Structure 1
């Protein structure tokens, strides 16, 4: 049993960790607003964010850089929480919306909508993304079989991911009239974000958090064996279904607006779990905060990869996430052999 001094120490450590992460986020947003293709002075930046000026430089920050930074944070929160929930639902450290076929399914469905419907609306893209995300997840789940071992589930997800990605690329080749914009979107990009996109994703953020936060005690059941949880009188299938719907809502809306930004949903939950352990009451908010923070910095770095031209943020997350996934897969395989 944990003593009062150790509990107080844990609370202070968690508070300092959240404070540091928040300050890191603020520094990332300020960096994203100040440095980029155009040089901005500190005075101009202050006047722009406080809406005390309306010349060209102020409007550039207010209408381009500011919504982009906010969208990077919100999408980072979506993807990180979707990754954490996917790992909880499957009890699989290798699971994520990207590897689980959700992102690829959403991307495939959105491209179908863009090709089939001329002038597809933003909410139409989101609707297609939700359907594609659900179908992608069901396909992976069915291929993995009833005994969904960690590596087997990951391999099924990778197979479905490459299948849907190939079909998506084939559709783009056959419909080259919109190839340039779709290809940039497919890698994951925040470069074309405007305030309308921010306003479109925020309702999904609010609704998902309103459902997720009260469900945190129930999600602890997913850490137990299904037989034990059922024996305690808990409806584990309902909890898992709600978690799946949250994953689709969070990942689907993010993909519809910014493309399939890979690996962030896999990396961040592991970093947060390493910092605070498995306490979901602390793990869930820290995962969201770190996810938003990481994507803000990744988007800022993407501005300088091919400076002065823009690069998709998905390049940065893939460079970080690829080796990290290989490390997790090797560690999971070693543990499986040891057991």
Structure 2
């Protein structure tokens, strides 16, 4: 019996090691492909020279100043959105929740569009601040509408989140229609796009990326409380509300910074945590890093695909993620509904 248990644990360890190595390899290959392929043809030798800064010709500068920051931004934003989705599902105890569905992304989008309309020449830092304020306002509005206590709180959260999402999205569209000359370039951004991301955007989001990962790693043991019933955790003397508040703060930071850079990219927050959970289960010390890796992989490859589906023109990456995530969401909703019945 002990031998079979040890063998099972050993097989599990090897499987996890293989899974993380494969995910890291897929991410590295996706980054290389994203740097090589696009509207301009680049050889592998030229790419190597550009990445090692051995030459400063036009094609090398094109890779260094356009493709490299765009690829890094796609990877970072994918990680942000995937982790934000995982934390949203933990804090709300709803497997179909995400910052996109719960009004957080819509609040950030509305605030950014309002800032662009109200303030001429809005800086990148101001755009980030507007996104944070909008994301926080959307989250607070949802939680205030849902109320507290009662066994149906999480059902009310889902209903309030969907309502707030459509309300804020409608207000955003109204602002764009009424100010179409100053927000004409926002249409591409609102669908979700990384093609405008450069080194300023990467430098702006990098502190939130590092700080968010450090805080997540520090709070990861506490977040395991969210996997059990609140009454049981409170009975064990744990501060569940404080842990949930920190989780929502992390969601606002991760999702708000991602929306400020690349717009409200849909479905990554929802589908990536489910894929990771199906592979490794609910053990957060393994689930969280795998979710981050898969989020970066998905958005990097989605951005690469968005360049070729209408070549030589580029499509918003949000179209690709929606095409992948829409059927997956329907599948999840039907499976969860069947399980509840």
Question: Does the TM-score normalized on the shorter chain lie above 0.5?
Answer: yes
Query: Which of 165, 180, 186 is equivalent to 1:182?
Result: 186
CA separation of 1:140/1:148 partners in 2, compared to 1, >3 Å: closer, same or farther?
farther
Q: Is the 8 A contact 1:186 1:259 kept in 2?
A: yes
| Corresponding residue of 2:247 | 243
CA distance in 1, matches of 2:293, 2:165: 27
- Aligned twin of 2:209: 205
- Partner residue of 2:219? 215
Structure 1 residues 187 and 116: alpha-carbon distance in aligned structure 2, compared to 1, 3 A threshold? same
Contact 2:113 2:183 in 1 (8 A): no
Deviations 1:240-289 (A, max 9, x none): 00000000000000001110001001000000000000110000000001
Identify the range of structure 1 (151-160 vs 200-209) with the bigger mean alpha-carbon deviation: 151-160
Closer, same or farther in 2 for the Cα pair 1:89/1:176, shift >3 Å?
Answer: same
Q: Counterpart in 2 of 1:325?
A: 329
Of 274, 292, 295, which aligns to 2:278? 274
2:74 is matched with which residue: 72, 75, 94? Answer: 72
1:112 and 2:114 are equivalent in the alignment: yes
Structure 1's unaligned 5+ residue stretches are none
Q: Which residue of structure 1 lines up, in the alignment, with residue 163 of structure 2? A: 159
* Contact 1:107/1:129 (<8 A) preserved: yes
Cα deviations across residues 136-188 of structure 1 (Å, max 9, x unaligned)? 12222333444446665434322222211111011011112223311111111
- List runs of 5+ in structure 2 lacking aligned partners: none
SS of alignment partner, residue 178 of structure 1: coil
Tell me the distance in 2 between the aligned counterparts of 1:180 and 1:52: 40
**Range with greater deviation from structure 2 (140-149 or 212-221):** 140-149
- Tell me the SS of whatever aligns to 2:185: helix
1:296 aligns with 300
C-alpha RMSD of the superposition: 1.5
Instruction: Determine which of 312, 323, 328 is the counterpart of 2:316.
Output: 312
The aligned counterpart of 1:131 is: 133
Asked if the contact 1:99/1:161 (under 8 Å) is kept, the reply is: yes
* Cα distance in 1 for residues equivalent to 2:140 and 2:223: 21
* 8 Å contact kept, 1:93–1:150: no
Per the normalisation by structure 2, the TM-score is 0.95
Q: What TM-score comes out, normalization by structure 1 length? A: 0.96
Match of 1:32 in 2: 34
Find the aligned partners of 1:296 and 1:148 in 2 and give their Cα distance: 38
User: Kindly tell me: are residues 150 and 322 of structure 1, through their superposed partners in 2, closer, same or farther at Cα, counting changes over 3 Å?
Assistant: farther
* Equivalent in the alignment of 1:18: 20
Aligned length: 337
Shift of 1:315: 0.5
